[in-house]
Amino acid sequence: MTHFLAAILILLLVSILAGLIRVLRGPAPAERMLAAQLFGTAAVAIILILSQLMAMPALLDVAMVFALLAAVTLLAFVVLAGRRAR
Amino acid sequence: MLDLIAAGLIGFGTVFFIAGTVGLLRFPDIFCRLHALTKADGLGLALIALGVALMVGTWAEVFRIALIWFFVAVASATSGHLIAAHARQSMPQTGEADD
Amino acid sequence: MTQTAPAARNTRIDPPGAANAVTVHQAPEPPVASHWRRFLATALALSLIWGALTGFRSDALIFGLPAVLAGAGLVFLLPSRPGWRLSPRGALTFVLWFAAQTVRGAVDVALRAFSPAMPLRPGFRRYPIALPQGAPRVMFLNTITLLPGTLSAEIAGDQVIVHMLDTSADLNADLGALETRIAALFALNRPTETTP
């Protein structure tokens, strides 16, 4: 089970890294924020698995913070970018 | 047995995460890419959270995982809409493409 | 379309045969009682969340109790009659239906992403929202995104501009089904007159 979870973690990390290609290519700033959306979801999944793999329930709190912060990040981007456009 | 189900759920969840990233890279515009991220990653996280919840020891942890999933699900639907609305406003040429 | 809350309540017709059909004949409760009931319900939900976050430790209540009371106290700042209530039956069918739709939507988009031909016919469509303002409409706009092939892209007055992965799909049927189920969830009668 440990090996399986480790393999899953690597796959999830690769899928985040591949998502970073979209950040590099852009072209619009909003496209780059898509990677933040991906990271918000995938990071929570990674931390959930990590909390199990390392037997550290405290990591669930980290996942909770990630879950809430990802929303704030996107909200801040949309509000600030919208204000700049006007 | 429970571990096997959990592993299956986590494995399927990962497949959906990979699908989300593939969509993010392959789909032609920002709106299609949002479809991939909100839907595929959303189900991916739900499956992984369910799998992990089957493995943890206490009900408090299960509840906490459910809460985390719920926050991410609500936030990702709302921020998907916000990014789409922002993209439409910054790209005024994307009107209704009625064919 | 901007229904005021009391109007929405008066025009509500429970579905025939529903277990809660008795509520139609009940006299509307005074707003004060309804406020306190919602205060208690919110306080209960918040305490449950707080307890789960802190592992039900009693010493954490030093922070938890004021936070829960302050959060629940916010209901007194809200209008006394939201114009909707949750129907347990509607909620159950909604959750089951919505879970199935979410899986369908994710499988659909995953298959499109993996397919070498990548079958997409993306485009925008307008859809007039029949649900009243407030929680039902917010719920509708958020759930559109998780339905197969649709994404709520912009709100223009009483219309939502939906981005579709495949514009040959029947948008009105899909979103109409969603609206009907959300109306059942909030125990509203289905406002059919504005739907095409």
**pLDDT of B64-94, one tens digit each?**
888 888 888 888 888 888 888 888 887 655 4
Look at B64 and A1 and tell me if their CB atoms are within 8 Å: no
Chain C residue closest to B12 (CA)? C107
How many structural domains is chain C composed of? 2
How high is the pLDDT of residue C196?
A: 41
Answer yes or no: do C139 and C62 share one domain. Answer: no
Q: Residue B53's domain spans which residues?
A: 2-90
Answer yes or no: do C18 and C47 share one domain. Answer: yes
Residue tagged 């223009």 (tokens): C156
Alpha carbon distance C48, C34 (integer Å): 21
How high is the pLDDT of residue A40?
A: 83
Last residue of a domain, one of C53, C77, C101: C77
Whether residue C60 is contained in a domain is answered as yes
How high is the pLDDT of residue B15?
A: 93
How many structural domains is chain B composed of? 1
- Does residue B34 have a pLDDT over 70? yes
Alpha carbon distance A86, A54 (integer Å): 48
Q: For A25-45, what is the mean pLDDT?
A: 82
Whether residue B71 is contained in a domain is answered as yes
Last residue of a domain, one of C77, C108, C128: C77
Whether residue B95 is contained in a domain is answered as no
Per-residue burial over C4-39, b = 16 or more CB atoms within 10 Å of its CB, e = otherwise: ebeebbeebebeeeeeeeeeeeeeeeeeeebbeebb
Q: Which residues of chain C have pLDDT under 50?
A: 1-27, 192-196
- Mean confidence (pLDDT) of chain B: 84
Contact residues for C171 (Cβ-Cβ < 8 A; gap 6+): C125, C127, C150, C162, C164
Q: Give pLDDT tens digits for A17-33.
A: 888 887 787 777 778 77
Which chains have 3 or more CB–CB distances shorter than 8 Å to chain B? A, C
The answer to whether B13 faces chain C, any CB pair under 8 Å, is: no
How high is the pLDDT of residue C32?
A: 64
Look at A11 and B80 and tell me if their CB atoms are within 8 Å: no
Task: Out of A34-38, A40-44, C34-38, give the one with best mean pLDDT.
Answer: A40-44
Whether residue B29 is contained in a domain is answered as yes
In contact, B90 and A30? CB cutoff 8 Å: yes
The structure tokens listed for C37 are: 């009931």
Look at A40 and B72 and tell me if their CB atoms are within 8 Å: yes
Of A8, A57, A75, the CB nearest to B61: A57
Answer yes or no: do C73 and C92 share one domain. Answer: no
Whether residue C195 is contained in a domain is answered as no
Whether residue B64 is contained in a domain is answered as yes
Answer yes or no: do C38 and C102 share one domain. Answer: no
Q: Provide, as residue numbers in chain B, all residues whose Cβ is less than 8 Å from the Cβ of A34.
A: 24, 30, 33-34, 37, 83
Answer yes or no: do C97 and C171 share one domain. Answer: yes
How high is the pLDDT of residue B27?
A: 86
Of A15, A18, A82, the CB nearest to B86: A82
Q: How far apart are the first and last CA of chain B?
A: 52
Q: What is the DSSP string of B26-74?
A: HSSSHHHHHHIIIIIIHHHHHHHHHHHHHH-S-HHHHHHHHHHHHHHHH
Q: Residue C20's domain spans which residues?
A: 5-77
Numbers of helices and strands, H then E, in chain C = 6, 3
Q: What is the DSSP string of A16-30?
A: HHHHHHHHHH--SHH
Q: What angle do CA A14, A17, A18 make, to 5 degrees?
A: 85
Q: Provide, as residue numbers in chain A, all residues whose Cβ is less than 8 Å from the Cβ of B87.
A: 28, 30
Distance of CA A2 to the CA centre of its chain: 23
Answer yes or no: do C107 and C46 share one domain. Answer: no
Look at C151 and B67 and tell me if their CB atoms are within 8 Å: no
Answer yes or no: do C169 and C95 share one domain. Answer: yes
Length of chain C in terms of residues written: 196
Numbers of helices and strands, H then E, in chain B = 4, 0
Answer yes or no: do C132 and C180 share one domain. Answer: yes
Residues of A with CB under 8 A from a CB of B: 1, 4-5, 8, 11-12, 15-16, 18-19, 21-22, 28, 30-31, 33-35, 37-38, 40-42, 44-45, 48-49, 51-52, 57, 60, 63-64, 67-68, 70-71, 74-75, 78, 81-82, 85
